[in-house]
Amino acid sequence: MTAETHAGAGPELTAAIAARVESFVREVVIPYEGDPRRDHHGAPTDELVNEMRELARRAGVLTPHILADGRHLNQRETAVVLEKSGLSPLGPLAVNTAAPDEGNMFLLGRIASPELQEKFLRPLVEGRTRSAFFMSEPALEGGAGSDPSMMQTRCWQEGEEWVIEGRKAFITGAKGAGVGIVMAKAEAGACMFLVELPHPAIVIEHVPNTIDNSMPGGHATLRIEGMRVPASQMLGKAGQGFDYAQVRLAPARLSHCMRWLGACRRAQEIAVDYANRRQAFGKQLIEHEGVGFMLAENLIDLQQSTLMIDWCAGVLDSGSAGITESSMAKVAVSEALMRVADRCVQVMGGRGVTGDTIVEQVFREIRAFRIYDGPTEVHKWSLAKRIRREWKAAQ
C-alpha cells in the first residue's frame, strides 16, 4: 500500500469528506469530551480512543485524508479535512488524523519500501495502533531538540543488524504505541529505523505532566539500551535521516496548524454563544465593545490563519520542500491562535477557566503548540538567517 501525496481528489470529493468528518465530530465525538476514561494527566486512554475509532470506522471517516486506494489528499485538501477533525480535541484521535501518527504516515508513504509500508504503515492507516517519533533528547544533557544536529543517540552496524544506544525526551505517545520511528547518528550521518513497540530495549523513565493533555501516552523521557534492529528496517538510506526529517516536519507542523485552527473555531463558537446569552450591566455581553471587539478580532485572526495555511499548503503541493514557508505559517498561525484562545477565555470570564467547556483546554494546548515543532523564536531566527543570506547574495 502507499500513502503518497498526489494531484488531489478534487474540490467536490474533498468537501464531501470534510462534511462527513465534521458531522461525525459534532454528533459523535463531542459527547465523549466528558468521558472519564482518562489517564493520571487527563489524557484520553487507549480504550477511549479505540472505541471512538471503531465508530469512525463504521461511519467511513477513519483516516479520511488517505483514500481507499491509498492515495493521500494533497495539502490543500488535507487542510480542509483536518480542520474539521480538530473541532474537538478528541476529533483527530477519533478519526486518525492526530499527531504524531498523521506525520508518521506521511513520511512512511513517501520513504518506506513496500515491505515496510505493509508491516508498519498499514496498521497506522487502519487505525489499529499508534506510533511515536523518537528524535528529541534531554535538553540539559546537550541532546537534540530544535537543533537536531546535536543528536547524541548513536547507532552502528553489526552484521545484518544495527545497534542503537541513547536517551530520548518528549517522545509523544511512546507509552502505548505500536510503531516507532527512531532517529540515531552513525558515522555516515543520521539514520531512521522502524521498530515494533513496546521493545525491551526501550525503557520509559518518566512521563511528565505537561500543560497539554490531548495526546495518549504523554511525552515520555526514555533510554534505549543496546537495541538491535534488522538492517532491513532502516527507513531509506543511512546518513539521510535529517533529510527525511524535513520531509516529515514541514507538512507535520502545518498539520498542527490545521487541527488547532479547527479547535479555535470551536472555542470561538462557544465564546460567541456565551457572549450572546450572558447579560451584564443592562445588556448582552456582546453588545459591550470590549467584548464584541475581542470576538471580531478573533474572526480576523481565524481568517488570516486559514489563508496562511492555504498559502503554505499550496507551496507544498507545488513540490517545494516549503521549509521557509512552513516556518512562517507555524509562527503566524500559532501566535494568532494563541490570541484567539486567550480572548475566548477572557470573554467567558470565570467559566472560561473551568473544565465546563473545552475553551480552557484549547488555551493550554495552543500554548504548548507555540513550542512544539519548533518554538516561535527558532523559526524567526531561521527566517532572519535567510534574510541575511539573501541580502549578502544580492550585494
CB-based contacts of 125, cutoff 8 Å, min separation 6: 1, 3, 63, 66, 96, 105
Average pLDDT over residues 180-196: 97
Give the pLDDT band of residue 140 (cuts 50, 70, 90): confident
**20 vs 196: CA distance, rounded Å:** 33
Neighbours of 90 (CB within 10 A): 24
**90 vs 200: CA distance, rounded Å:** 30
**67 vs 305: CA distance, rounded Å:** 26
Query: Percentage of the chain surpassing pLDDT 70?
Result: 98
Pairing of strands 219-230, 202-206: antiparallel
Average pLDDT over residues 55-79: 96
Give the relative orientation of helices 101-111 and 241-277 as an angle to the nearest 10 degrees: 150
Query: Per-residue pLDDT tens for 316-356?
Result: 999 999 999 999 999 999 999 999 999 999 999 999 999 99
Cell of 348: 467567558
Average pLDDT over residues 221-230: 98
Indicate the helix (H) or strand (E) that contains 196: strand 189-196
92-96, 144-148, 169-173, 294-298: lowest mean pLDDT where? 144-148
The whole-chain average pLDDT of the chain stands at 95
Average pLDDT over residues 194-199: 98
pLDDT score at 5: 45
Query: Percentage of the chain surpassing pLDDT 90?
Result: 92
Query: Per-residue pLDDT tens for 214-225?
Result: 999 999 999 999
Average pLDDT over residues 116-138: 97
pLDDT score at 7: 60
Query: Per-residue pLDDT tens for 9-58?
Result: 899 999 999 999 999 999 999 999 999 999 989 999 999 999 999 999 99
Average pLDDT over residues 197-206: 97
**199 vs 55: CA distance, rounded Å:** 30
pLDDT score at 368: 97
Q: Cα dihedral sign for 132, 90, 214, 337? A: positive
Name which of 125, 128, 335, 93 is nearest 216 in CA terms: 93
Is 60 exceeded by the pLDDT of residue 362? yes
Rg (CA), the chain: 21
CA 230 to chain centroid, in Å, comes to: 29
Average pLDDT over residues 115-136: 97
Is 90 exceeded by the pLDDT of residue 277? yes
Q: Cα dihedral sign for 243, 244, 249, 251? A: positive
Domains belonging to the chain, first-starting first, are 11-98 (no CATH), 132-239 (2.40.110.10), 242-390 (1.20.140.10)
Give the pLDDT band of residue 143 (cuts 50, 70, 90): confident
